[in-house]
Amino acid sequence: MNIFRLTGDLSHLAAIIILLRKIWKSRSCAGISAKSQILFAVVFTTRYLDLLTSFISFYNTTMKVVYIACAYATVYLIYVKFKATYDGNHDTFRVEFLLVPVGGLSFVVNHDFSPLEILWTFSIYLESVAILPQLFMISKTGEAETITTHYLFFLGLYRTLYLFNWIWRFYFEGFFDLIAIAAGIVQTVLYCDFFYLYVTKVLKGKKLSLPA
C-alpha cells in the first residue's frame, strides 16, 4: 500500500466521522442530504459484496465493514433518530436521474459480465455522482454549515488522493483501471468549484454558499 492510498482512506474515514459527529453532537441532520447518504450506502453495499467471497487483508476487510456500518448508521440517524430535523423540502434532487444511467452504463461498460463485477462497476460509477444531491441541496438553501463543508472537503480530498494513488500504481506496479480512473476524475471535477470556495471562504471564517 502506498502513502496516497493510505491517506486517501484516512481522509475518507475522517469525512464520515465528521458527518456522524456533527449529527450526533448537534442532535440534528439539518443541511445533510439523506439522498446522498442513501446513495453512498448503496455504493458500499454493492462494492463490498466480495466480503462474502474473498479475503485480501485484515486492513481491507476492516475498512470495508467500517464504511458499510457508518453509511447505514448515518441513514438511520437521518431517517429514524433525528427524523424531525431532516429538511426534506430542500433535499429534492431526482436520484433516478443518476441511478438509471449509471445502472445502464454498468451493464454496457465493465471488466467482466458477471453479477459481482457489474455491481462493483455500478458502485464505482454511482460514487462519482453520489454527492450531487448534497451539492444541489447546498445550492438550493444558499449556504452550508462549516462542519458540513469540512465533510465535503475531506470527501473531495479522498478522491484527489486516490487519483495520485492510481498514478503511483501505474508507474510502480503497472496497474491501470480505466473505469475507476475515469469515474474518479469525474468525481474530483465535481468538487473543484467547492474546493475553491472552501479555500477562499471557509478557511477565512466565512460561510460557504453555492450559486443556485
Q: pLDDT tens across 42-91, in order? A: 999 999 999 988 898 999 999 999 999 999 999 999 999 999 999 999 99
Q: How many domains would you assign to the chain?
A: 1
Domain-located, residue 210: no
Task: Specify the amino acid at residue 34.
Answer: A
Residue 49 C-beta-side C-alpha neighbours within 13 Å: 15
Whether residue 153 is contained in a domain is answered as: yes
SS (H, E, C) the chain: CCHHHHHHHHHHHHHHHHHHHHHHHHCCCCCCCHHHHHHHHHHHHHHHHHHHCCCCCHHHHHHHHHHHHHHHHHHHHHHHHCHHHCCCCCCCCCCHHHHHHHHHHHHHCCCCCCHHHHHHHHHHHHHHHCCHHHHHHHHHHCCECHHHHHHHHHHHHHHHHHHHHHHHHHHHHCCCCHHHHHHHHHHHHHHHHHHHHHHHCHHHCCCECCCC
What integer is the mean pLDDT of 97-108?
A: 96
Question: pTM for the full model?
Answer: 0.90
Range in 140-149, 176-185, 201-210 with the lowest mean pLDDT:
201-210
Q: Under a CB-based contact definition with an 8 Å cutoff, are residues 135 and 205 in contact? A: no
Report CA 1 to chain centroid distance, whole Å.
21
Is 206 part of any domain? no
For residue 3, the model assigns a pLDDT of 95
Which 8-state DSSP code applies to residue 210? -
Domain hosting residue 164, numbered range = 3-199
Provide the pLDDT for residue 41: 97
For residue 36, being part of any structural domain is answered with yes
Asked whether residue 25 is assigned to any structural domain, the reply reads yes
Q: Is residue 42 part of a domain?
A: yes
Would 204 be classed as within a structural domain?
no
As a whole-number percent, the residues of the chain with pLDDT over 90 amount to 70
Whether 98 shows a pLDDT value over 80: the answer reads: yes
Sign for the CA dihedral angle at 197, 198, 201, 207 comes to: positive
Enumerate the β-bridge partners of residue 208: 144
Q: What is the pLDDT of residues 18-43, one digit of tens each?
A: 999 999 999 999 989 999 999 999 99
Q: What is the tens place of the pLDDT at every residue in 137-159?
A: 888 776 667 677 888 889 989 98
- Kindly state whether residue 87 falls inside one of the protein's structural domains: yes
Residues in contact with 33: Cβ distance below 8 Å, sequence separation at least 6, in sequence order:
91, 93, 133, 134, 136, 137
